[in-house]
Structure 1
């Protein structure tokens, strides 16, 4: 199991070029690793189709998504986690809507968990068959927003003191398995799973807005242009990119304005127009809320 997990991580490293921490074996058949990817929109994820190994993915920060069986796409934001066997995401394209993500991967050999569980779980109801039936039946992937108990468990996996971290991880992984085995999993608790065609539309909306920051587009006009219900458009955009359309575009407008103030001699009024503001005073107020200083002060400080 440990050797197989290392081979999987090597495959991911070959495809992404990103560093991954070594898999730490907590118990026979149970390992944990941390990942951090940035500076790209997507990468290919390749590994063997291990139907007996369950993967628990937890997103610490950022946003991550990937194609699942049947053409659906699933996204994790900060605090979300997913459970699936490693035959459901073979050779998939992983996307980073915001350009980066940090997270945790826990791999569990379900057969070994049933046949030779860690001593504290021996004789309990926690088995590989139970977890497989509850979360991964029929090759499905379960995606959930973490509740307070689950969040505390995951946070302890990476926030505990370094000198006792492995000990905490051993304790907390067993606690996680106990919680998962007893958790009521209703459809209402599942995060939304979208068709890849819908996700592609949201990406087109995003790209159009980012490439035309000087223009103002309403939700209604976008929904008519892309033939998508306004509520669906807003909800999907927030789930994929982590913020509302307005907040996301405002972030890009402010970053573009800062770049113009730094690299050009355009007046503040001209900069405001180039990033979609007809009112210089409104632009200046928004800029100050974002950067803590007015545009003129920002430029002056840079040139000092």
Structure 2
């Protein structure tokens, strides 16, 4: 059975879910070689459950271009990809996986490779390289293993070439880059690459609970030590898993949400800057103004006036 059949079943499931949501999601698929398909995704979701046949002979390479995405695999463990990160596994591993977009945005792609076809009908330029499906399977996916890695200078150059190419050359670049990627995977040893952490479902659930609590009252300040005691979790573990899931430190992540909420209050209410500062956890208006300017490059008063003037200038 070729990847054209196996992957299409998987992709039709994704397409159905993305269209059903009614959001500005997108999916584009291209055939790069016999048994090799590339699918670009842009998703504005929070959670997706995927079900497809557990094809052990089809390998998936997932790459995160921007945003953040997590997979909860059937073994109960989760891995999260940020910009530049990539994962490799068979479709057997993700047959009943759950996708999570912690920040409700993800842009990236999946390459599906029929390992049997790669062995029997390798692309012309790879025929002398000795790359087979069995070799890649053993190196990256044996024992139902999911391999996930941080990007490096070489992979960044390879994956980056799948984007922002002139339309006339885009197809050729995609075909060239997938061959370059296969050569890289063949020559590299997984042990020498920087692996991403895998986390238990209970750990992820706890971090999500902490995240929900922090966002429920942006006016309240709570320290990492206080969270550690409340949820009975080591402070280092808390910080590491939170960053793995959401991509930034707790302080940076909550600050971003505070500034977004403050911007909404500035435009949607007549509350004073001092009151808004208090509503997002600042007891000093000057510190709030400085933080807001760091985020939006204008002061809160300038932000409110700018948007008020723009609204007044619109034709009625």
TM-score relative to the length of structure 2: 0.92
Counterpart of 2:96 (choices 76, 91, 107) is 91
1:144 matches 2:152: no
Counterpart of 2:29 (choices 23, 29, 34) is 23
Partner of 1:262: 267
Aligned mates of 1:69, 1:136 — CA distance in 2: 15
Partner of 2:6: 4
Equivalences for 1:145-294 in 2 at 5 Å? 145-186=150-191, 189-294=194-299
What count of residue pairs does the alignment treat as equivalent?
303
SS in 1 for 2:58: strand
Aligned mates of 2:271, 2:128 — CA distance in 1: 72
11-20 or 276-285: bigger deviation: 11-20
Counterpart of 2:122 (choices 95, 117, 139) is 117
SS in 2 for 1:139: coil
Partner of 2:87: 82
1:173-203 superposed Cα distances (whole Å, 9 cap, x missing partner): 1111011011121177210000010011111
On the 8 A contact 1:12/1:47 being kept in 2, the answer is no
Residue 157 of structure 1: how far off its partner (Å): 1.2
Assess, with a 3 A threshold, how the Cα gap between structure 1 residues 220 and 154 changes in structure 2: closer, same or farther: same
1:31-74 superposed Cα distances (whole Å, 9 cap, x missing partner): 11101100x21011122211100000000000000111321011
Aligned mates of 1:182, 1:188 — CA distance in 2: 12
1:258-299 superposed Cα distances (whole Å, 9 cap, x missing partner): 111111121111111110001111111111111122112222
1:108 matches 2:113: yes
242-251 or 182-191: bigger deviation: 182-191
SS in 1 for 2:62: strand
1:43 matches 2:43: no
Partner of 2:39: 33
1:188-227 superposed Cα distances (whole Å, 9 cap, x missing partner): 7210000010011111111111111011011100111111
10-19 or 157-166: bigger deviation: 10-19
SS in 1 for 2:282: coil
Aligned mates of 2:175, 2:207 — CA distance in 1: 40
Aligned mates of 1:156, 1:267 — CA distance in 2: 48
Aligned mates of 1:105, 1:193 — CA distance in 2: 20
138-147 or 155-164: bigger deviation: 155-164
SS in 1 for 2:220: coil
TM-score relative to the length of structure 1: 0.96
Assess, with a 3 A threshold, how the Cα gap between structure 1 residues 293 and 135 changes in structure 2: closer, same or farther: same
Residue 26 of structure 1: how far off its partner (Å): 1.1
Residue 125 of structure 1: how far off its partner (Å): 2.5
Residue 92 of structure 1: how far off its partner (Å): 1.8
